[in-house]
Amino acid sequence: MLIISKIIVIMNDTEKNIPDISERGRARDGSLISFDRRLYFQFLAYGNVENIDEVINSFKNSGLEGVLYLDINDPRGIGLLTINETPDFFIDELRDFLNREPFSRLQFKSEFTMLGRTYSLGYENDLEKTLVSGPRSRILDPELKWAIWYPLRRVKSFENLSVDEQRSILGEHGKVGFQFGKAGFAKDIRLACFGLDKNDNDFVIGVLGKDLYPLSAVIQRMRKTKQTSTYLESLGPFFIGKVLFQSHV
């Protein structure tokens, strides 16, 4: 009986320590809120596209949600961004679609593959907008015709910094993005890809805008921040594209 009692106590203690993996935020009154939905984004790139209209029509008629891009650095290249709340979508519906023509005969460029999920920072008061509707409407905004997509990896020592140090470093970096966003130059999509990326990247970033130059300018400006200059191990490869087709919001 004594052994059984100890087991029961251990099990109860374990249950109490189950980690909360939901996204966290703060209501306007300061109370803690949580949300267990998020969007997954996958970016894929292809070359050797000979009939661009065929590709557009195939994606348009598929009912899939996402964006087709023309690759500025490959005259026969495209990028495909798809979004969904369910990971199974990418190995069921999307996989079936991509294994049919015309995508099945295109040149797959695996070096540009990116997979990430939306996440909260802990202070947002509208988690549904932060994690689902906001990123969806941004990526499908018909005015944001240009995009730069890239992965990044921080140096591991960043995780050993104090919370205050991290907050200061990220705050400096975020201020640049806020200034460009407020001016209407660039909008961003920030995705976590811990354990989802074959190269052990930490984040996938999308920088979106009406014109290409401001997107390059904001990335250049961020090179001067402490996060980029000191605590980033790698950036890229960079995919630069212009919207060819967007599904509807």
Read off the pLDDT of residues 147-190 as tens digits, 9 standing for 90 and up: 999 999 988 888 888 888 888 888 888 888 888 888 899 999 99
Dmax (CA) of the chain: 75
Q: Can you tell me which residue has the tokens 């949600």?
A: 65
SS3 at position 158: helix
- The reported pLDDT for the residue numbered 11 is 39
With respect to CATH, is domain 40-246 assigned 3.30.70.1030?
A: yes
Q: Can you give the pLDDT at residue 187? A: 95
Band of the pLDDT at 88, cuts 50, 70, 90? very high
The pLDDT value given to residue 6: 35
pLDDT digits (tens, 9 = 90+) for 188-223: 999 999 999 999 999 999 999 999 999 999 999 988
Return d(Cα 221, Cα 179) in angstroms, integer.
11
- Cβ contacts of 66 within 8 Å, gap of 6 or more: 59, 80, 81, 82, 83, 139, 246, 247
pLDDT tops 90 at residue 225: no
What are the pLDDT digits (tens) for 42-65?
Answer: 999 999 999 999 999 999 999 999
Q: Would you list the domain boundaries of the chain?
A: 40-246
Quote the CA–CA distance of 124 and 28 in Å, as a whole number.
9
Share of the chain above pLDDT 90, in %: 66
Tell me the Cα Rg of the chain.
21
pLDDT of 30 > 80? The answer is: yes
What pLDDT score does 200 carry? 94
pLDDT tens string 98-136: 999 999 999 999 999 999 999 998 888 899 999 999 999
Check the CA dihedral 34-139-80-173 and report its sign.
Answer: negative
Q: How confident is the model at residue 15 (pLDDT cuts 50, 70, 90)?
A: low
Question: Could you tell me if 43 and 80 are in contact, meaning their C-beta atoms sit under 8 angstroms apart?
Answer: yes
Res 245: pLDDT:
97
